[in-house]
Amino acid sequence: MRIAMISEHASPLAVLGEEDAGGQNTHVAELAAALVGEGHDVRVYTRRDSPSLPDTVATLDGYRVCHVPAGPALRVPKDELLPHMGEFGRWLAGQWRDGDWSPDVAHAHFWMSGLATLHAARRTGVPVVLTYHALGTVKRRHQGARDTSPPGRIGFERALGRAADRVIVQCQDEVGELVRLGVPRSRMALVPSGVNQEVFRPDGPVAPRDPARPRILTVGRMVERKGFLEVVRAMPAVPDAECVVVGGPPADLLPADPFARRLGALAESCGVADRVRLVGAVPREEMGRWYRSADILVAAPWYEPFGLTPLEGMACGVPVIGTRVGGIADTVVDGLTGDLVPPRDPRALGTAIRRLLADQVRRFAYATAALDRIRSRYSWKRCAEQLSAVYAAVSSVGRATPAVA
């Protein structure tokens, strides 16, 4: 099948860790590669955010990245991209109608991509599958007045859920959110993300560490809702351990980063500055080294649409402590493959870390059970197979020709 993936702000080629570059970029890159592995012809459409980008790039994984000229050719915060989605959609429609390649199905990632994709689909008849990745209702609930989403996001998300041929949900929590929003359950297919088990595996190189000091690792974009402040606040309850934070801007830009400075100041005031280390952005292919160097991975977001970092830690054989939110409540089985604690509760987090660090047998049991869970449920191949079935169900290519009597 010919599959178009639309990811307006999250390019599969981006450097990860910065404010708008994280799980969606990884998801799109891995999924595109896995769909190619299933024999599909895949193109990823993302915004041209630099004048030096070529029109299309052929990746080593066998899919093409097409750079769409919509909006300024420079990096713009994703919340400012809405006015350019009409232009994005018109460009897609033109390509699919008049160019030499048009998709059998279009899979939009994030609501703004959904708008551009529906715009193009209405003009070309291409069926649309949508993954939200994040929901405005959840963001509004947690961020309140600090939510920078464009006005109208929630209404657009509701309308998109009703207009798309299928909505891909990634966890049970998202099903509930969408039902409350008014998206019909019958439109939804639950297909969780996968994890690359070639990159994230228990054996392989390990980042240097002090063998005498237990290492707590936490990974993600440097935004408040990822819970790094709570991890630092938990550290006084865990004497002797070090806390390593991976993500944010590249290491040399950390001193100027406002959130990194805030974390540093908090570590000072908690008396743990000598035990908290910010590493900055790490290239994806080196992430496994960092996971493998840790005794425990902590994923402590306030909310999390899916959460790839717990899966990556689990795939590397590292026990996980996560907050009981979003996808983490599905991927981490409390007391079996890891521990779940309430979000925004440094005291509960500190207690859980201290207890797990003191119990080597439990850490080993969690890591073993987590690896089993990853291998049986969270491969990208499985994800691509399930999505192929969804694409086939909505596209004319996948519809069986009626038997002639």
Task: Considering the complex, state which of residue 114 and residue 326 has its C-beta at the smaller distance from ligand UDP.
Answer: 326
Task: Considering the complex, state which of residue 131 and residue 395 has its C-beta at the smaller distance from ligand UDP.
Answer: 131
SS3 letters across 92-110:
HHHHHHHCCCCCCEEEEEC
In whole angstroms, the minimum distance from the beta carbon of 53 to ligand UDP comes to: 21
Residues 6+ apart with CB under 8 A from 159: none
Is 316 near ligand UDP (CB under 6 A)?
no
Q: Binding residue for ligand UDP (CB under 6 A) from 12, 23, 103, 313?
A: 23
Residues 6+ apart with CB under 8 A from 252: 280
Q: Binding residue for ligand UDP (CB under 6 A) from 29, 263, 282, 329?
A: 282
- The tokens of 218 are what? 């936490």
Q: Which amino acid is at 51?
A: P
Is 312 near ligand UDP (CB under 6 A)?
yes
In whole angstroms, the minimum distance from the beta carbon of 244 to ligand UDP comes to: 11
In whole angstroms, the minimum distance from the beta carbon of 120 to ligand UDP comes to: 25
- Beta-bridged to residue 36, according to DSSP, are none
In whole angstroms, the minimum distance from the beta carbon of 96 to ligand UDP comes to: 28
Applying the rule CB under 6 A, the residues between 230 and 259 that interact with ligand UDP are 246-247
Nearest-angstrom CA–CA distance, 306 and 21: 15
| Residue 334 three-state SS | strand
Q: Binding residue for ligand UDP (CB under 6 A) from 5, 217, 296, 308?
A: 308
Is 323 near ligand UDP (CB under 6 A)?
no
- Beta-bridged to residue 107, according to DSSP, are 5, 129
Nearest-angstrom CA–CA distance, 152 and 38: 38
Q: Binding residue for ligand UDP (CB under 6 A) from 2, 4, 8, 24?
A: 24
Residues 6+ apart with CB under 8 A from 69: 48, 91
Q: Which stretch binds ligand UDP (CB under 6 A): 65-73, 140-148, 306-314, 359-367?
A: 306-314
Is 281 near ligand UDP (CB under 6 A)?
yes
Alpha helix positions (H), 214-344: 228-234, 258-269, 287-292, 308-315, 328-331
337: left (phi over 0), alpha (psi -120 to 50) or beta: alpha
The edge-to-edge listing of strands for the beta sheet with 56-58 is 56-58, 64-68, 41-47, 2-6, 105-109, 128-131, 166-169, 188-190
Q: Binding residue for ligand UDP (CB under 6 A) from 26, 117, 331, 337?
A: 26
Q: Binding residue for ligand UDP (CB under 6 A) from 232, 238, 287, 340?
A: 287
CA angle 379, 4, 201 (to 5 degrees): 20
In whole angstroms, the minimum distance from the beta carbon of 91 to ligand UDP comes to: 26
Task: Considering the complex, state which of residue 199 and residue 365 has its C-beta at the smaller distance from ligand UDP.
Answer: 199
In whole angstroms, the minimum distance from the beta carbon of 134 to ligand UDP comes to: 8
- Beta-bridged to residue 298, according to DSSP, are 321
Task: Considering the complex, state which of residue 107 and residue 221 has its C-beta at the smaller distance from ligand UDP.
Answer: 221
Task: Considering the complex, state which of residue 127 and residue 313 has its C-beta at the smaller distance from ligand UDP.
Answer: 313
Applying the rule CB under 6 A, the residues between 69 and 88 that interact with ligand UDP are none
Residues 6+ apart with CB under 8 A from 251: 278, 279, 280, 281
Is 153 near ligand UDP (CB under 6 A)?
no
Contact track, ligand UDP, 200-229, x by CB under 6 A: -------------------xxx--------
Is 115 near ligand UDP (CB under 6 A)?
no
Task: Considering the complex, state which of residue 127 and residue 322 has its C-beta at the smaller distance from ligand UDP.
Answer: 322
Q: What are the residues binding ligand UDP (CB under 6 A)?
A: 16-17, 22-24, 26, 219-221, 246-247, 281-282, 284, 287, 306-309, 312
